[in-house]
Amino acid sequence: MKKVLLSLLLLLPLSILAQFTTTNPDTVCFQDPSAIYQVTNTPGLTYIWTVSAPGVLTSGQGTNEITVDWSAAPAGLIGSAISVYASTPAGCPSDPIVLDVFILQIIPVVDPLVFCEGDACADITATPAGGTFSGPNVIGNQYCPGAPGTTTVIYTVTEAGCTFTATADMTVYPTPILDQISHD
């Protein structure tokens, strides 16, 4: 859940409303179904939110806090993705504030490895760098082959609070066993 705190100031009670301020753009994880946005609540004000497609405002219209479903959004920048303004009971509107949203998607890749039974441990490579490996026979950033067969290594990358994973199969082939040489 991603929260962005916007500040709402009243310069003169019920007459002049100052602009909101925030850091722009907000970063949201790819396929995030519940990003939360809010402004400081001032009693008596009604908050009018607009969310650009493909975002969907799922709850909170009229309040100081909304939930937005970004799960259908492609990766990249969505300009003017969210806007909000406040209105007094007399209908006096504030200036709107606009927030851009950056949908972050990282597609990690792990290189599969092939071993012969008895091979030494080998470094696992993946992109982007900086993630962590896990799974059977994984020690740090190395795969140490065990019994013949295939196991799956998981690579996890975390960036800006978003977590992305990739998997790769590591295969260990058995040592071939030959019978004795025979003569015809």
- Sequential pLDDT tens for the chain (184 residues): 333 333 322 222 322 223 333 467 899 999 999 999 999 999 999 999 999 999 999 999 999 999 999 999 999 999 999 999 999 999 999 999 999 999 999 999 999 999 999 999 999 999 999 999 999 999 999 999 999 999 999 999 999 999 999 999 999 999 998 888 888 7
Domain count, the chain: 2
63: in domain: yes
Give the integer Cα–Cα distance in Å for 4 and 2: 7
Contact call for residues 36 and 66 (beta carbons, < 8 A): yes
- Per-residue DSSP letter, 93: B
Q: What is the pLDDT of residue 5?
A: 33
Give the integer Cα–Cα distance in Å for 128 and 2: 23
Structure tokens at 54: 């493909």
Whole-angstrom distance between the N-terminal and C-terminal Cα of the chain? Answer: 75
Q: What is the pLDDT of residue 3?
A: 36
Q: Could you tell me if 126 and 163 lie in one domain? A: yes
Q: What is the pLDDT of residue 13?
A: 31
Q: Could you tell me if 94 and 138 lie in one domain? A: no
Q: Which of 104, 126, 149 is the last residue of a domain?
A: 104
Give the integer Cα–Cα distance in Å for 61 and 57: 8
HSE value, Cβ hemisphere, 13 Å, CA-based, for 16: 3
CATH of residue 27's domain is: 2.60.40.10
Structure tokens at 105: 């998607």
Q: Could you tell me if 37 and 100 lie in one domain? A: yes
Q: What is the pLDDT of residue 181?
A: 86
Q: Could you tell me if 45 and 97 lie in one domain? A: yes
11: in domain: yes
- Stated length of the chain: 184
0.85 exceeded by pTM: no
Cis peptide leading into residue 128 (ω within 30°) = yes
Give the integer Cα–Cα distance in Å for 92 and 157: 47
Q: What is the pLDDT of residue 6?
A: 33
Q: Which helix (H) or strand (E) holds 165?
A: strand 162-173
180: in domain: no
Structure tokens at 97: 């504030």
Q: Could you tell me if 90 and 153 lie in one domain? A: no
Q: What is the pLDDT of residue 7?
A: 32
Q: Which of 89, 104, 119 is the last residue of a domain?
A: 104
Q: Could you tell me if 133 and 168 lie in one domain? A: yes
Q: What is the pLDDT of residue 97?
A: 94
Q: Which domain holds residue 128?
A: 109-173
